[in-house]
């Protein structure tokens, strides 16, 4: 133990006096700080948009609510009162609601798919499939290049920094001629390598802890609410770093030259982080093709259905007998029953196609999840996205929540429209409200961590044997 500490201390002195550590620390801290700043900028802009939307929604609903109470005997009030008491007007053009995909406190750490998929959706009473296929305005070149967020720094840059600090761990002793001197001491090779590696591990933990703690203040993470998420995020980063230390340990244990180690480690980095994921992506698009063009061609308005109103309505009443009032034959202006029946038909036509499409995407995700045993970087990206609630699965769940809200929203207003009832003041308190349920609070990282720890264990074992 004493020798272990001695080696550790001396190695620290050497590192501290060299140039490499200064460069690495500067780069690491700069990249880490920039990533926090970048994530904060992106998510703050989204928050700004969200608050504009919420204000807009509040203003619309407040004025509608005020209009319901207007005295209709005054000439100018009639139109306003009619708008505010019409179930259709509130359901569709005037009272539409925003379904907001609120960012979590740790979302800025891993922005994931949040730039590609929309984070808010205006929900109107018309067909939902005419509304949800939207992309937020984004620069395609930026989308293609991706984020410089904390997840990127951990996944791409951290292993590089570890490699730079450790590729000549043992070989430098040989190349400087101090190896035989060191071996003449009563320490084993394993002790030497482990002591030096522990020093790198300590530096890594220090760096990860520093930026992670800083993120609590910079991003204003509410620890009592999201402390668990933050801890798991930190844990995943640690285990990923450990995996790379295991890779380094295994390579160093072969006791080759510094140049050989550097080359091998960088080759491993390039294969695991650059080539394999890109190759898998390409292979997936060919082996599991997804073609949406069939339903893309169908996303049109309700009048694209050629059938006359009466036919569409007949089927509609069969599905909703509670909305069928044969005795009510009075002419209505506007007549909206056909409109709603048509909109539902659009959703019914598209529903199965969209479901099939979602199943195809899920199939791809399942394949990737299995392949993640070989793709540590992708695995960690998905763990980060899962914790930050920015994964494709989280987005799909958000879409399902929107659909469910759309149903609740329509179930409230449509019976009134079909009964030809006006809205009252008391109805306003009963309007369905959007409540977002994030998926990430219960996101489990166990399986993902196992996919890192098991290979790491094997690599450590290999190194251990090799260093005998």
Partner 1 sequence: MNHQLIANKEFTQTLRDRRFWVAGSVVLLLLLVATWTGFQNYESLALARQKANAAARQTWVNQPEKNPHSAAHFGTFAFRPKSDLSFMDFGLDTYTGASVYLEGHRQNDAKFSQAENATSLIRFGEMTVAFVLQMLIPLLIIFLCFGAFTQEREENTLKILLSQGVSVRSLFWGKVSGYARVIALVVIPALVITSVLLFAQTGFQPAADTLFRMLFFFGIYLFYFLLIIVLSVFVSVRSASSRASLLTLLGLWIVACVALPKATANVGESLFKVPSNYVFQHEIHEDVEKGIDGHNPSNERAKALEKKILAQYGVDSVSQLPVNFDGIVMQEGEIYTSKVYQKHFGALQNTFQKQNSLALLTGFINPYLAVRNVSMGLSGSDYAHFLDFKAKAEDYRFKMVERLNNEMKTFSKTGDWDKKVSRDFWAKTPDFQYQMPSVGWVLTTHWVSLAALLVFSVGLLWGINKSLKTLKIV
Residues of span 291-310 touching partner 1 by CB under 8 A: 291-294, 296-297, 299-301, 303-304, 306
d(C-alpha 132, C-alpha 120), whole Å:
10
8 A C-beta contact, residue 393 and residue 402: no
How far apart are alpha carbons 424 and 428 in whole angstroms?
7
Cβ closest to partner 1, residue 376 vs residue 418 = 376
* End-to-end alpha carbon distance in the chain: 18
**DSSP designation for 107:** G
Residue 56 makes CB contacts below 8 A (sequence gap 6+) with 98
The answer to whether residue 186 forms part of the interface with partner 1 (CB under 8 A) is no
Place of tokens 């094997």: 458
| Cα 138 to chain centroid, rounded | 16
Q: Which is nearer to partner 1, 37 or 223 (CB)?
A: 37
Q: Rounded to the nearest 5°, which phi and psi values hold at 46?
A: -65, -40
Contacts of 7 (CB under 8 A, 6+ apart): 187, 191, 192, 195, 196
Decide if residue 8 touches partner 1 (CB under 8 A): no
CB of 175 to partner 1, least distance (A): 9
Number of H helices, E strands in the chain: 20, 2
Q: Which C-beta is closer to partner 1: that of 344 or that of 382?
A: 382
Give the shortest CB-136-to-partner 1 separation in angstroms: 5
- Cα–Cα distances in angstroms (integers) from residue 47 to residues 104, 107, 138, 399, 428, in the given order: 11, 11, 16, 19, 27
Report, in Å, the least distance between residue 61 CB and partner 1.
Answer: 16
Q: Which is nearer to partner 1, 296 or 411 (CB)?
A: 296
One residue of 280, 351, 374, 455 binding partner 1 per CB under 8 A: 280
368 binds partner 1 (CB under 8 A): yes
Q: Determine if 152 is a binding residue for partner 1 (CB under 8 A).
A: yes
- By CB under 8 A, is residue 359 in contact with partner 1? no
User: If binding is defined by CB under 8 A, does position 394 make contact with partner 1?
Assistant: no
| Per-residue x/- track, 154-183, partner 1 (CB under 8 A) | --xx--x-----------------------
Residue choice 5, 18, 41, 228 for contact with partner 1 (CB under 8 A): 41
Strands 97-100 and 120-123: antiparallel
Quote the DSSP letter at residue 1.
Answer: -
- Report the residue from 88, 101, 120, 234 that binds partner 1 according to the rule CB under 8 A: 120
Residue 463 interacts with partner 1 (CB under 8 A)? Answer: no
Does residue number 284 form part of the binding site for partner 1 (CB under 8 A)? yes
Binding flag, residue 275, partner 1 (CB under 8 A): yes
Instruction: Choose which of 215, 226, 392, 410 interacts with partner 1 (CB under 8 A).
Output: 392
């Amino acid at each position: 133990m004493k020798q272990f500490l001695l080696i550790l201390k001396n190695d620290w002195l050497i590192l501290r006096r060299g140039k490499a550590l200064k460069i690495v620390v500067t780069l690491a801290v700069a990249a880490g700080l920039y990533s926090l700043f970048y994530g904060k900028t992106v998510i703050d802009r989204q928050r700004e948009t969200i608050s504009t939307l919420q204000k807009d929604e509040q203003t619309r609903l407040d004025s509608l609510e005020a209009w319901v109470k207007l005295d209709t005997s005054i000439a100018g009030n009639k139109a306003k009162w009619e708008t505010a008491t019409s179930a259709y007007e509130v359901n569709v053009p005037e009272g539409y609601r925003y379904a907001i995909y609120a960012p979590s406190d740790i979302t800025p750490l891993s922005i994931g798919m949040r730039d590609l998929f929309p984070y808010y959706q205006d929900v109107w009473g018309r067909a939902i499939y005419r509304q949800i296929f939207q992309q937020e305005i984004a620069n395609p070149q930026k989308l293609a290049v991706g984020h410089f967020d904390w997840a990127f720094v951990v996944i791409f840059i951290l292993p590089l920094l570890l490699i730079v600090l450790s590729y000549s761990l043992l070989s430098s002793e040989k190349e400087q001629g101090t190896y035989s001197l060191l071996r003449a001491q009563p320490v084993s090779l394993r002790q030497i390598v482990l002591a030096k590696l522990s020093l790198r591990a300590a530096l890594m933990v220090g760096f990860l802890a520093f930026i992670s703690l800083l993120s609590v203040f910079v991003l204003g993470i509410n620890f009592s609410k999201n402390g668990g998420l933050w801890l798991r995020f930190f844990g995943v980063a640690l285990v990923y770093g450990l995996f790379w230390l295991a890779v380094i340990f295994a390579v160093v244990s072969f006791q080759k030259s510094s140049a050989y180690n550097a080359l091998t480690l960088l080759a491993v980095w390039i294969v695991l982080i650059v080539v394999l994921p890109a190759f898998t992506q390409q292979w997936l698009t060919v082996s599991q093709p997804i073609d949406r063009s069939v339903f893309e061609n169908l996303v049109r308005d309700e009048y694209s259905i050629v059938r006359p109103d009466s036919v569409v309505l007949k089927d509609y009443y069969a599905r909703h007998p509670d909305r069928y009032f044969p005795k009510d034959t009075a002419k209505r202006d506007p007549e909206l029953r056909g409109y709603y029946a048509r909109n539902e038909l659009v959703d019914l036509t598209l529903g199965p196609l969209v479901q099939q499409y979602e199943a195809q995407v899920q199939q791809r995700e399942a394949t990737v999840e299995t392949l993640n045993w070989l793709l540590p970087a992708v695995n960690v990206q998905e763990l980060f996205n899962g914790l930050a609630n920015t994964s494709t699965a989280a987005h799909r769940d958000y879409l399902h929540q929107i659909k469910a809200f759309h149903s609740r929203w329509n179930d409230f207003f449509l019976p009134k429209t079909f009964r030809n009832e006006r809205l009252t003041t008391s109805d306003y308190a009963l309007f369905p409200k959007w409540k977002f349920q994030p998926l990430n609070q219960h996101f489990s990282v166990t399986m993902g961590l196992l996919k890192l720890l098991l290979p790491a264990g094997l690599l450590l074992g290999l190194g251990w044997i090799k260093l005998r």
